[in-house]
Structure 1
Amino acid sequence: MMPSFFIAHGAPLLAIENNIYTKFLHALGIALPKPVAIVLFSAHWESATQKVSDVEDFETIYDFGGFPAALYQIKYPAKGSGLVTNKIEEVFTKNEIPFEVDNRRGLDHGAWVVLNMLYPDADIPVISMSVNPNLPPEAQYKIGKSLSKLREENILIIGSGGTVHNFGTIKFGSENGDADQWAVEFDQWLDRHINNWDLDTLFNYKSLAPAADLAVPPHGNEHFIPIFYAMGAADNERTGKLLHNSYRYGNLSHSVWQFGV
């Protein structure tokens, strides 16, 4: 049984840096059993209807600007898996989850920054998945839950985003590792309720979590919600643990939660 994960992809610069967080992700990729495929929900692929990739050879998308030239030289030439895409189609059809298959879109940085640190050889098939910020958390969780059986086939499910991700509060000149107290309190609240698998409270994070309006700003929940897809994939076990938590620029969170096993 493969666990599922929520992994913060942080700023694109992580792809060319060597710091405490990148070291952790490299080590995590080595420690995990090698999956037969990876299903990844990216905060940077939003759609009203759930999208499922069926791409033979992924292009690397540079969906950012103004960064060092070295970042644009990185390629992550992952391949897809028609077999796994078909499994997902069958599961979604059975669970009456509307979806569309996409056979053109490459991997955005929410996907390849994480994947390149976990599995730099790009030798594991990837199925890229969109997220829908307009769905209620219960529906996002349900989509992840429908895929839980894939974990029994050694398929790794990842939600890639960031629990605290607000460009209005980020202090880009701050690299001393200090974190804003409100960001820490939000993540601590989140961890506590994940440990208890308190779905009713988590689904109502907007009104119940401290500093939720700062951590998850209005019209900016696309980075937070991948956690519900990843949690749903472990609904049969309902166990979660925080593996890593650090901050950059004052409040940009680098968090990794493992769900199941």
Structure 2
Amino acid sequence: MMPSYFFAHGAPTIVLEDHAYNDFLKSFAANHPKPKGIVVFSAHWEEPVQTVSAVEGKYETIYDFGGFQKELYEMTYPAPGDLALSRKVSALFAERGIVSAKDEARGLDHGAWAVLKLLYPDADIPVVALSVNRHLSNEQQYEIGRALAELRKDDILIMGSGGTVHNLRQVNWGAAGVDSWAADFDQWLEEKLVSWDLPALFRYQELAPQARAAVPTSEHFIPLLLAMGAGDGTRKAELLHRSYQYGNLSLSAWEFQ
């Protein structure tokens, strides 16, 4: 089956940058089977009810950031929507008792398009975007991802886009190395993901070192739990890449087989 994935999306400028993580994302497609469709949970789309995009035609590109290079605002990612896949996603949610709504107009925010532009620059794979809700429990987040696991049999790539350590108040723009507190949190997280220790992961706010600094708000962490839930059947997690920017902004990629 197609694995599910978590990709950190870093800063919006990731599409312009030159570093190891950017290289990893650009080489991903050459080393993995091409999916028939992509279902993406973005940290930058928050709704109180699980929302499923149902865009007919191609997506608009949302520039949900300010003060960056002009080149960023000229980029587009006109991926096609897939109404049949949107309906399938909604049906899978309904089967699990997960209430969902559809959105027929919203474009792709940078949490989705910035990563997808590096992974699949031709924008030729149909995309269904999904919202996140920080007010649900970690167990509920996992179950939302698990509800979609069946899609993997149809070569649909389920991905979460966010960041494991994402505290913009703590970033150090001139830092060359990684702050110890960020590395400590990510190391704890790696151990729990590889061992698939759900009880610990669901209580990461209490148990993980430096959790409050690493995850001051949960919207960027939630996509990791969603992607992991989609891999529940096999329960095998592999860290594909991890590096850091600005002292503590974590750039990691996880595969859940």
Q: Which TM-score applies when normalising by structure 1?
A: 0.97
Stretches (4+) displaced over 2 A = none
Aligned to 1:243: 240
Aligned to 1:204: 203
Q: Verify the 8 A CA contact 1:29 1:117 in the aligned structure 2.
A: no
CA distance in 1, matches of 2:122, 2:209: 40
Q: Verify the 8 A CA contact 1:30 1:118 in the aligned structure 2.
A: no
Unaligned runs of 5+ in 1: none
CA distance in 1, matches of 2:29, 2:43: 21
Q: Verify the 8 A CA contact 1:40 1:129 in the aligned structure 2.
A: yes
- Once the two structures are TM-superposed, the CA of residue 167 in structure 1 deviates from its matched residue by 1.2
Aligned to 2:136: 135
What amino acid maps onto 2:143 in structure 1?
Answer: K
Aligned to 2:188: 189
Aligned-residue Cα RMSD (Å) equals 0.7
- Report matched runs for 1:43-82 at 5 Å: 43-56=43-56, 57-82=58-83
Aligned to 1:19: 19
SS in 2 for 1:124: coil
Aligned to 2:231: 234
SS in 1 for 2:113: helix
CA distance in 2, matches of 1:66, 1:125: 30
- Once the two structures are TM-superposed, the CA of residue 89 in structure 1 deviates from its matched residue by 1.4
SS in 2 for 1:45: strand
CA distance in 2, matches of 1:83, 1:69: 36
CA distance in 2, matches of 1:42, 1:227: 10
What amino acid maps onto 1:258 in structure 2?
Answer: E
Percentage of identical aligned residues: 54
What amino acid maps onto 1:48 in structure 2?
Answer: P
Could you tell me which of 249, 252, 255 is aligned with 2:249? 252
- Once the two structures are TM-superposed, the CA of residue 173 in structure 1 deviates from its matched residue by 2.8
Deviations 1:181-213 (A, max 9, x none): 010010010010001100000000000000000
CA distance in 2, matches of 1:208, 1:89: 34
SS in 1 for 2:218: coil
CA distance in 2, matches of 1:59, 1:108: 9
Unaligned runs of 5+ in 2: none
- Report matched runs for 1:42-191 at 5 Å: 42-56=42-56, 57-174=58-175, 176=176, 178-191=177-190
What amino acid maps onto 2:155 in structure 1?
Answer: N
SS in 2 for 1:222: helix
- Once the two structures are TM-superposed, the CA of residue 29 in structure 1 deviates from its matched residue by 2.0
